[in-house]
Structure 1
């Protein structure tokens, strides 16, 4: 018998965790942190529903924290098996997991300092030692090479193009009565015709499909993101303001830098000083520059001539004092800093300083989950809470949806249509409720595949 239990990414875009039990073996696909609403974040602290040391292996689709950030906590609870990742995901996690641990420690330290906690003392969800132990468990597996988990059960990574190293996971095993069975996890599906990374490989078909639905209820803006980016920077510069870009350190930051370099080279934009203020983004960009095998042909061509991620006006911020000094600088300028949904990191200090002033612009370039500070700003709330203070939102707010790393509903259908085998069942996850529901209905209408929206904690037999 085989079963799949949905321990996250149900009714939300975060906390991706799928518990798989096959032939008495127990595996976890993704080990993500819940983010956003407090009710969701509290799930990170709940005891894991099975003994951590009973899990033989974890398979990670890609490096983003909502898919990997729970791994150090799982290690703290006793997990000691292998963690299977693509080579680029392994390199990125060497940056992301220590950074996530540092943020956990800093949040606990700050809560103890100001007394904003019911617990005494406040403790981090995990620490840098846990992150270090987790990194020691990583085992790299290349794309398109089947790997045996146990006799009769293999998995394969398929390229997804969402970020560097992003993969779908295909598992093959014997089902009830010895029948060959395949279970396919989409991970986060990337975009078509975007720079830097190769496009996602089409869904080949499977007995069961677990598919994301982040943008399952909408289509991305068809506008040129380069032109939109140039327009926001130009209009803000004319006001003497600063463009603040909360950007995911992995993926979005590199794409923005790529577009800025193109705009500069083509003479389409008088680029003001650009500050990259994120140690994690700085290290991730170096990893992107080294990963030539995953780049598309256009990017590889540029790399033969020059540095595609380094516009001439780029200033890389390295120290905390340098980061603080930026806040004293007048505009025009562009500040790119993490986190992408303004939930933590250095972007909060810049928002606290720049958000009240109308000459500035906050530019969102990725999905903003419900309950996050970024979503509140994007939804037009008059104030947001930063470091315990209510900061007025006086700045202009802009959003370039076409810069998203997630496929929209039409691109998801393109990815699915080429399947040689129609799934017996599709499980629609990793989306807010309305997006998942609409996408499930679209799949059933366009492809005729039966869909199910699993609930948190639900177990299904395979």
Structure 2
């Protein structure tokens, strides 16, 4: 890839998958990376995390993050370790959450490498983590928090603005304006777009006109169920409690855990679920919940409901207390990460309780292809956990209506309310079927130009096509 003075957009990730969000903008000899995420799911995708970037990290001038989830931020420690020396710009909420997510990611990567070494399950004699917790802590020194809505100048003729996206704390749409003096070109990145009626987060702000729109398509081929998420969750808890079972809820530690606590607290207050123990077994989720309390302007929850949310579960931090939950038995509810069963304490609970039919494993959001969560949705009778095949006889429940992503109808309504069509919409951050389904709807229902880019494709923003 040549480093010329043109204006280009390159798709380094999230083009044939829902993970690995990375977009390189080049303008006037400057390079800005919008999002710097990890590839997750299928092994062939995860191997991209080990592949060299198309250009040296040291040649990138700045990174701009839409939000803190690892598929958008989780490659930052590797980028910094390998030579990136510029600033990482993010909203205050995103920067705060990254202080939890990135070191935890490094710790888990170290743990996975050590487990592979001990079990001899790697083709490498001494498997090494993608990066370490120490790498992540060092990378956090590069973060430069910047508030929503205030323009941020980056280099010569490049301005960035963070626009609230809903979804999770700190999540933003990113508007990048290139050029000046009447010849500006604006590229608008949706990031992960939240929902208009999300019970926790405020709705995403409306789309302003832009020449180029880069739009996520996680749920581009489907609509969320009409049933209330709260009612569906209540049904699961009641029937499992009645048979003396354990409800293991796989939750993303940031955002989804808080939404689940909110729903369970409301159900308990209304007398719609029995008075059984509820445990939040995720130190990160416990810490993240406190951060939500500090950013009241981004969500809908008042102090009374916050107190109810926090008083409902027993907060579990220590590993020994986590292990004791596997001996306790039901009835009880355990909320634990990770949300797609890719790692974390939830795997120990699935190992302990997944083999009994009286229990339930609840998947509380999107499950990327190649993850254990996706395998469960496909009816897998066992899961490979820590080198062992664990039989699954528990009831498996998917609560997609708990998702913090806008569905296809919501994305189309959000786009259609804009006063002017972009020159081009690039549909990204979705599985191939979802991205192509959203592309067709954008073309047919809005009459806008849209297409799905290829992995590593570069486009000329002066003539997007």
TM range (shorter): over 0.9
Give the CA deviation at 1:3: 0.4
Q: 2:143 corresponds to which residue?
A: 138
Matched-pair contact (CA < 8 Å) for 1:264–1:311: no
Q: 1:61 corresponds to which residue?
A: 66
Relative to structure 1, the CA distance from residue 21 to residue 350 in structure 2 (aligned partners, 3 Å threshold; closer, same or farther) is: same
Relative to structure 1, the CA distance from residue 182 to residue 308 in structure 2 (aligned partners, 3 Å threshold; closer, same or farther) is: farther
Give the CA deviation at 1:49: 1.1
Deviation string for 1:123-153 (max 9, x for gaps)? Answer: 1100122101211111111111111112321
Matched-pair contact (CA < 8 Å) for 1:236–1:243: yes
Deviation string for 1:261-282 (max 9, x for gaps)? Answer: 1111222222310111111111
The 2-side partners of 1:185 and 1:271 are apart by 44
Give the alignment of 1:53-92 within 5 angstroms: 53-92=58-97
Give the alignment of 1:333-372 within 5 angstroms: 333-372=332-371
Give the alignment of 1:237-386 within 5 angstroms: 237-296=241-300, 299-300=301-302, 303=303, 307-312=307-312, 314-386=313-385
Q: 1:185 corresponds to which residue?
A: 189
Structure 2 stretches of 5 or more lacking a match?
1-5
Matched-pair contact (CA < 8 Å) for 2:81–2:139: no
416-425 vs 85-94, which moves further: 416-425
Q: Give SS of 1:327's match.
A: helix
Relative to structure 1, the CA distance from residue 304 to residue 310 in structure 2 (aligned partners, 3 Å threshold; closer, same or farther) is: closer
Give the alignment of 1:220-235 within 5 angstroms: 220-235=224-239
Q: Give SS of 1:328's match.
A: helix
Give the CA deviation at 1:164: 0.6
TM score, norm. by length of structure 1: 0.97
Q: Give SS of 2:123's match.
A: coil
Q: 1:398 corresponds to which residue?
A: 397
Give the alignment of 1:3-42 within 5 angstroms: 3-42=8-47
Give the alignment of 1:154-173 within 5 angstroms: 154-173=159-178
Give the alignment of 1:443-458 within 5 angstroms: 443-458=442-457
Q: How many residues align?
A: 456
Give the CA deviation at 1:308: 4.3
209-218 vs 418-427, which moves further: 418-427
Matched-pair contact (CA < 8 Å) for 2:198–2:404: no
Structure 1 stretches of 5 or more lacking a match?
none
Give the CA deviation at 1:363: 0.7
Pick aligned residue for 1:208 from 212, 230, 237: 212
Q: Give SS of 2:335's match.
A: strand
TM score, norm. by length of structure 2: 0.96
Matched-pair contact (CA < 8 Å) for 1:257–1:311: no
The 1-side partners of 2:141 and 2:283 are apart by 22
Q: Give SS of 2:374's match.
A: helix
Matched-pair contact (CA < 8 Å) for 1:204–1:418: no
Give the CA deviation at 1:196: 2.2
Give the CA deviation at 1:234: 0.4
Runs of 4+ in 1 over 2 A off after TM superposition: none
Matched-pair contact (CA < 8 Å) for 1:285–1:309: no
Q: Give SS of 1:20's match.
A: strand
Deviation string for 1:228-260 (max 9, x for gaps)? Answer: 111000000111100010100001000000111
Q: 2:201 corresponds to which residue?
A: 197
